[in-house]
Amino acid sequence: MLFNSHIFLFLFLPLVLAGWYFLNYIRKFKLAQGYLAGMSLWFYAYFNIRYLWMLLVSCLIGYLLCLWMEKTVSDRGRKGIVAIGCLFHIGMLGYFKYSNFFLENINAVFGTDFSLLTVLMPVGISFYTFQQLAYLVDLYRGDAPLCSPLDYLTFMVYFPQILQGPILRYEEMVPQFREEKRRHFDAERFAKGMQHFTIGLSKKVLLADTLAKAVNLGYGNISMLDCPSAILTAVGYLFELYFDFSGYCDMAVGLGKMIGIEIIENFDSPFKSASVKEFWRRWHITLGRFFTKYVYIPLGGSRKGKFRTVLNTLIIFLLSGLWHGANWTFVFWGLLHGIGVAWDSLDFFHLPKKWMRQAVTFLYVCLAFVFFRAETISQGFLVLKAMVTPKWNGFLFQMGEALDISELYILTKAISMKAPSLLNPVNLIFLLLLFAISIIVLAGKRASAIVEQAVMNRRYAFAFAFLFAWSVLSMAGVSTYIYFSF
């Protein structure tokens, strides 16, 4: 079930809110939490019922490992349980996500002919796998206590964040289940949640999904790209990815506020970063935190000299790349970001002005993300080549036409009938205007700052109501989230 779908907005969410607040109102707190967990399982099962059984098996075995950990006294035995947990969770993730990738590479390297498996990757497995691993390790280290089965299930399947994160830790969610004040309806908190959700919905529907039309045309016709269209294709994908993923996370934060079980933000204006290292402190914050806390620091972090710091950084980003997808393009993308972060860590050279460092950082990140989107590494280099080759063939006009903005249908139809020669320039203007709006949004405040600093009045309320209605009316097209694939 998608957040940007009518069934979610007009059936699922009202049922969740009504049942949750009613059961809490009559002080059936455990039943209310069970209801929330049950609705979360329905939300997840809506995609495919087979996904649900895999999730439940993962949670059951994950919790049994936690129980075993709690009853084990010796450090050696507890370490063994962590090892078993890693083998189970990572093994499950590896089977569903990487089995065919490894088989394809074995066949390519050794000339074998192993048949590929028919594997259906469960949505969100990369996120709930890491969240369960993090909790198991925290339990081993004494950073978190053992929670009840209901708390564990709700923690792992909470519907606002199960599909795309954030990847949360125990102290960021479970203690909220015991705060009675969160069980009662709070009008101010609920209003802020609606505003946060609306911002995320508009970023996803109005910006990400519209940009995707032009970007998909560009990456689907790489041989046709000239210099300006290649640049807009690369930049457009980075914008699309950000609005898609951060839009989802903003909606998740908003939903959390509406329910009262809040989740943390996952983005902090990453395109204002003045270094690649800073970019990764602001982009997909909880994933970076997971790799830092559970992999980078145990490897030695930056405590064992510059060589080990660089090596550990590269390992982290290679793993991050592989986590994102079973393709060498993701590994190469991770390597590029690892090199960028390692360079920043070595502190060799800095440009004198902040805006210069921000511009160079954006350029480097944008070029690296070309390989994140490309189907092959060689295809990514073709896009980069097109970006630096002085050439114009008018492909931008086709990218503008691909937007096919329904709100402008009457205008474009009239132009096509009365002055067809103006249609291409008008479509190009719409394309450039879309990029200009995207840049303005990126340069502005993040969603939480807008919501917290806003002064509620009629104009403000009307603006959000209009934005919500516009987003809902624009949800007619087929849409999904990019990170569902990861």
In terms of Cα–Cα distance, which of 62, 43, 247 is closest to 158? 43
Residues 182/261, Cβ–Cβ less than 8 Å: yes
Alpha carbons 400 and 423: distance in angstroms, whole number: 10
In terms of Cα–Cα distance, which of 279, 282, 280, 251 is closest to 267? 282
Residues 195/257, Cβ–Cβ less than 8 Å: no
Structure tokens belonging to residue 125: 């497995």
Surface-to-core class of residue 308, CB atoms within 10 Å of its CB (0-12 exposed, 13-18 middle, 19+ buried): middle
**Within 13 Å of residue 71, how many CA atoms lie on the same side as its CB?**
6
**CA angle (85, 87, 92) in 5-degree steps:** 100
Which ranges of 325-353 does DSSP label H, i.e. alpha helix?
328-346
Determine whether 324 is an active site residue.
yes
Alpha carbons 33 and 42: distance in angstroms, whole number: 14
Alpha carbons 164 and 62: distance in angstroms, whole number: 19
Q: Which of 196, 284, 324, 337 is catalytic?
A: 324
DSSP state of 325: -
Surface-to-core class of residue 91, CB atoms within 10 Å of its CB (0-12 exposed, 13-18 middle, 19+ buried): exposed
Alpha carbons 129 and 55: distance in angstroms, whole number: 9
DSSP codes of every residue in 432-467: HHHHHHHHHHHHS--HHHHHHH----HHHHHHHHHH
**CA angle (343, 349, 352) in 5-degree steps:** 130
**327 to 101, 128, 322, 338, 375: CA distances (angstroms):** 7, 21, 7, 17, 8
Gyration radius of the chain's alpha carbons: 24
Cis bond before residue 166 (omega within 30° of 0): yes
Name the residues annotated as catalytic. 324
